[in-house]
A and B are shown apart, each in its own frame.
Chain A
C-alpha cells in the first residue's frame, strides 16, 4: 500500500472528525415528533383564527371525537341495539377518564311528566317510541345523535389533544372487539373527527417517509451507477444524501418542531436536490482525469471544485432563495418548510465542497465511463434541438390550460379513496352532519339578550335561509335547543312547539339545561350574558368551492336579516378555516414565487455582473412554470396547499439549469455540448429522484411529485432551448484527444 502523505493524512483525519461531529449533531433526532396541525397553514393573525379563539372563549371548545356504532341489521330504537350500545359504552367506560368524558345524546335519560314507580328522580331512560319521536322532531337529537338511516348511533368525547384522541382509539377498538364477540358481525364501529383525520395523516406521512426515502437512496445509487460506473462515487452520493437528511431532521428536532405535512417532504427533496452538485463534480473530475492523466487525484479534485464552485454555489443559493422566499408568507408551516429546506441544502452544499473533493482526492477511482472519453458537440448532446417549431407548438398547446386552472383542496384528499379514514368521513357525510362545520357568531351591539322571542325568530329565519343552501347538511342554533326542550317537557305525541311567546318561558326552558346537567350543550350556543350566540352549519365536504359558497350564503343571510350595526357577525369553524387556508396558501405561493424570482435575478445579476444571461435564466424559468401550470389546467390538477408548492421548487431548482448553461465554464476538454449533457443528466437524475414522490400513498403528494418532475423537465428544456441559441456546434461524437 502506498504510504499516505501529510496532506492525505490531514484529509483522512478531517473525514473522521466530520463523521464523529455528524453523529453528535444527529443526536437530537431521537426527540423528533410527528404531528399534523391544520392551523399551521394559517396566518396566526388571520381573522378566522381570531374568530375561532373568540368562539372557543365564549362558547367553549367543541372539537370532538365521534364514535359511530353502525348496526348492520338493526335500527337504533331496537331494544337489542340499545342493550348492545349500552354494553359497548360500558366497556369503554371501564376507563375512569373516558367514563367521565363520554357524552351520549341519544339514550341519555329524559324528563317525563309523570312519576315512575321505583325511579325517584326526574329523568328516566327513554323508550324506543320516545327516541323515535325525538329523532323525527328535534333539531339536535334528530341531526347529530343518530344517522339518517337510523342504523347508526353517535356518541362522543371532547378532543383535548392529538395524543388524547390517539390514546382513546385502542380502547374503542378493544370495546368493539368485545361487542363483536358478544354479537358477531352485527355492528361496525367507526371513529370520526378532525383529530382522527389529522392523526391518520401523521401516521400516513411517516409511513410514506419510511417507504419513499429508501427508494430515493436506491434510485440515486442506480442512476449514479449508470452514469459513473463507480461504487465509490455511488457510495459517496448516497452517504452525502443520508448525512444531509439526518442532520436536517436533527435540526428540526433541535428547533422543537415536529415532522409535519410540509416538513415530511423535505427529506426526499433534499436527498435528490442535494446530489445535483455531485453530478457536475463527478462529471468534471472524470473528464479532467481523462484529459490530464498525469495529474494527481488531489489536483484534479481541486481543479473540479475551482471550476464548479461558482455555478454550484449559485444554484444552491438560488434554490435556497426559492425556499427562503416562503418567509414572505404568513403561514408558519410554509415558513418552516422554506427555512428547513434551505438549511438542508446548505448542509448538502457544505458536504459537496468539503467531503466530496476530499474523497475524490483520497480514494482511488478506477471508473472510466464512455461519455467521459469523448467530446460532445451541442447537437450531439441534445439532438432534439434541431426542431425550432416544437417549443412554439408546445407553448401554444399548453398555455391555454392556464385558463382552466382551479383552486381546490381538502384534508381527505391526502388519503387514497379506499383509505378507512376517507371511507369513514364519506360515510359520516351521508349519515350525519359531516365532519366540517361553519360557526356563525352573532353578537348584539345593543346588549339585548338573544333569549327575546323576537330575536330568536330572526335567528330562526336566518338559519332556515342558510340551511337551504346546497351542501349545507345540518344546522343547529339556540332556537333548536329551546324548541327541543319545550317538546321534551311537553307531550311526546305533539309536534315540536314553536318559539315560546315570552322571554320568561324561554329562560325557564334554557335553565333546564343547567338543571339536567347539560349546561355545556346550552353554552355551545348562548353565552352567559345572552348577548352572543352561535349557529353551527355542517357542510357536505371540505373542498374550497363548497366552503366558499356557504361562506357567501352566510354573509348574505346576515345582511338580509339584521340591519347594519345591529349585530356583529364573525365566521369561523373548520370549513371556514379550510377555505381561508387554501386561499391564503395560493396567495402565499404567488408571493413567494414572485419574490424568489426577483431576489434570484438581483443576486445572480449582481454577483456575476452579466445581466443578459441572468435575464435569460429567469425568462426560461418563468416560461417553464407557465407551461406546467397550463398542463395542470388541462389535466384538471387543482392548485391546493401542497400541489401549489411545486411553483417555489420550480423556481429554486428550475433556475439551476439556466445557471449552469449561462455561467458554467464551458470546458474545452469536453466540447461545446458537455455542459448541456451534464444539465440533461441533472434533469434526468433529479427528475427521476423526485419522481419517487409520485409513489407516495398520499395522492396530493403524488400530484405534487408529478408537477415537480414536470417543472424540472420543463425548466431543463426551456433553459437548453434558450441557451442553445447562443451557441454553435457541429454534430460530432469523436474519441477525446488525450493530452
Chain B
C-alpha cells in the first residue's frame, strides 16, 4: 500500500509539473496598416486640437493623424490631406498631374499657416463621377465655398508647399 501511495504521489507531482499555466488569449487587431488612427472613430470628448502652423510641423501632425499614412510613399508624389473630422485626415499620394485635375486652375485660398488650401464639398463623397472607384473627382476641390479643408505637400523642386 505504501509503495502504491508513493507511486501515486510521484505521478501527480510529475503531472503537476507538466501542467503549464494557460496563456491569456492575445488581443488582435485586423485593421489595414495605416487604416486607423487612435482613438477609433471621432472622439466626442475632446476640445478642438491645436494644429502646428510651420510647414514641416503641420505636415508631420497631419501625417500622424491621417488614415492611409502608413503605406509606402513615393517621394516624387505630392501628399494630399483631406480633413475628415476635427481629429483626423485622409492622406493620399497624388501626382502633380492629378492635383491639377482635382483643382482645375483654382489657386486655393490662404490657409491657417499662409500657403493655400482648397475646399471639398460633402456631396463629393457621395458620388464617383469619373467611375474610377475614387470619390475624389476632377474639379471637386475649389478655392472658395464651404467644405472640408484639403492641403497638398509636394516635394522640392516642384515647390515647398503648393502655391498656385
Contact = CB atoms under 8 A, between A and B. Distances in A.
Interface of A: 37, 39-40, 44, 52-53, 56-61, 63, 86, 89-90, 92-93, 99-105, 107-109, 111-117, 119-123, 125, 158, 160-162, 251, 255-258, 309-310, 313-314, 316-317, 320-321, 324, 327, 332, 335-336, 339-340, 342-343, 346, 349, 489, 508, 512, 514-521, 523, 527-528, 603, 607
B31 interface: yes
A123 B16 CA distance: 57
A44 B25 CA distance: 12
A329 to B, nearest CB: 13
Interface in B1-21: 1-2, 4-5, 8-9, 11-13, 15-17, 19-21
Interface stretch (B78-86, B94-102, B152-160): B78-86
B67 A343 contact: no
Contact of B44 (A107, A116, A317, A527): A107
B37 interface: yes
Contacts of A520: 29, 31, 36, 40
A111 B122 contact: yes
B117 to A, nearest CB: 8
Contacts of A108: 41-44
Interface in B107-147: 119-123, 125-126, 128, 135, 145-147
A605 B147 CA distance: 89
Contacts of A349: 5
B12 A90 contact: no
Given A255-B21, A489-B125, A521-B40, 19 more contacts: A56-B25, A90-B46, A102-B43, A108-B41, A108-B42, A109-B86, A121-B85, A122-B122, A158-B27, A255-B16, A317-B4, A339-B15, A339-B16, A343-B16, A346-B12, A516-B85, A517-B36, A518-B41, A519-B32
Contacts of B19: 255, 257, 332, 335-336, 339
A320 B85 contact: no
Contacts of B24: 37, 161-162
Give me the 7 closest cross-chain CB pairs, A-B, nearest first: A115-B146, A89-B45, A109-B42, A107-B44, A123-B85, A100-B38, A60-B30
A121 B11 CA distance: 69
A291 to B, nearest CB: 26
A121 B120 CA distance: 9
A98 B100 CA distance: 42
B148 interface: yes
A343 to B, nearest CB: 6
A80 B139 CA distance: 42
A61 B29 contact: yes
A655 to B, nearest CB: 14
A314 B45 CA distance: 67
Contacts of B41: 103-105, 108-109, 516-518, 521
Contact of B128 (A92, A111, A310, A508): A508
Contacts of B46: 90, 93, 99
A310 B2 CA distance: 8
Nearest to B89: A121
Contacts of A518: 40-41
B39 interface: yes
Contact of B5 (A109, A316, A508, A523): A316
Contacts of A314: 1
A516 B125 CA distance: 11
Nearest to A104: B44
Nearest to A125: B44
A489 B35 contact: no
A89 B156 CA distance: 44
Contacts, number: 207
A636 B146 CA distance: 69
Given A108-B44, A332-B22, A346-B9, A121 B86 contact: yes
18 contacts: A39-B22, A60-B31, A93-B43, A93-B45, A103-B40, A104-B44, A113-B122, A115-B122, A122-B84, A122-B120, A161-B27, A256-B20, A320-B9, A327-B15, A349-B5, A516-B41, A519-B31, A520-B40
B28 interface: yes
A121 B84 contact: yes
Contacts of A162: 24
B22 A58 contact: no
Given A104-B41, A121-B83, A121-B84, A514 B121 contact: no
A99 B38 CA distance: 9
B122 A517 contact: no
Contacts of A37: 22, 24
B12 to A, nearest CB: 4
Contacts of A321: 8
A101 B29 CA distance: 13
A160 B5 CA distance: 44
B125 A339 contact: no
B90 interface: yes
Contact of B90 (A100, A119, A515): A515
Contacts of B35: 514, 519
Greatest chain A CB density within 10 A among B39, B88, B121 is at: B39
A104 B43 contact: yes
Nearest to B88: A517
Given A120-B148, A121-B83, A527-B30, A113 B123 contact: yes
Contacts of B22: 37, 39-40, 44, 332
A41 B128 CA distance: 53
Given A120-B148, A320-B8, A102 B28 contact: no
A89 B41 CA distance: 15
Contact of A517 (B4, B27, B44, B85): B85
A263 B117 CA distance: 65
Contact of A251 (B16, B36, B120): B16
Contact of A313 (B5, B40, B86): B5
Contacts of B38: 100-101
Contact of B146 (A61, A99, A116, A255): A116
Contact of A39 (B25, B84, B121, B148): B25
Nearest to A42: B22
